[in-house]
Amino acid sequence: MAEHVILVAGPMGAGKTTAIQSLSEVPVVSTEAANTEIDRVNKATTTVALDYGEISLDDTDKIRLYGVPGQRRFDFMWRILEKRAVGLIVLVNNDTEQPLEEVTYFMNQFASIHQRGGLVVGVTRSDLKAEPGIGDYLMHIEENGETHGMPIFTVDPRNRDHMVMMLFSLLTNIQSRAGATDNVCLSQG
């Protein structure tokens, strides 16, 4: 069985834990702690180590999904979890302070995954704040040196169909980029 490790990254409150809960076919392993920064991000709990879920592609292929903590102070977990990943989903909540900068920040932090695999961006909570739009994200990402025509979606992490669409777009992105180089297998595990 081939196993592909995909990370879900992004700022606190973007919906990473919810996205993994929507996608996973097994009970999600969560490491939630009470949020003492409630004045900054209004949610009761926050991920402090990882979220873990699984989804089968077919009889032989499985995706292992890891959500990383959003806060910078947990970046040691980012370095641990990125090692085996072949793909990255960056989720950003459109109502956060600097959503464009957050996307490129997380893209840069996980540049090694992007180089060897693929990346897709999901914009959440755009129903609460419409701007910036997808075009603004594309322009900002392009200004920061990305030229691959990266897939960007507006998504609701609670909606499994949205998340499946984004995941499969990521897998296609990984395969097309691998095919463009040496047709390597998705799996690193």
Summarize as ranges the residues that interact with another protein (CB under 8 A). 29-39, 44, 46, 48-50, 69, 71, 73-74, 76-77
Q: Encoding tokens for residue 172?
A: 């296609």
DSSP annotation of 142 reads H
Nearer to another protein, 35 or 104 (CB): 35
Nearer to another protein, 33 or 185 (CB): 33
Nearer to another protein, 11 or 117 (CB): 11
Q: Facing residues of 120 across strands?
A: 89
Q: Supply the minimum distance, in Å, between the C-beta of residue 65 and another protein.
A: 15
* Cβ atoms 116, 34 nearer than 8 A: no
Nearer to another protein, 30 or 175 (CB): 30
Q: Supply the minimum distance, in Å, between the C-beta of residue 78 and another protein.
A: 11
Q: Supply the minimum distance, in Å, between the C-beta of residue 135 and another protein.
A: 36
| Tally of CA atoms within 13 A in the half-sphere of 7 that contains its CB | 30
Q: Encoding tokens for residue 175?
A: 């395969």
CA-closest candidate to residue 68, choices 10, 5, 124, 2:
10
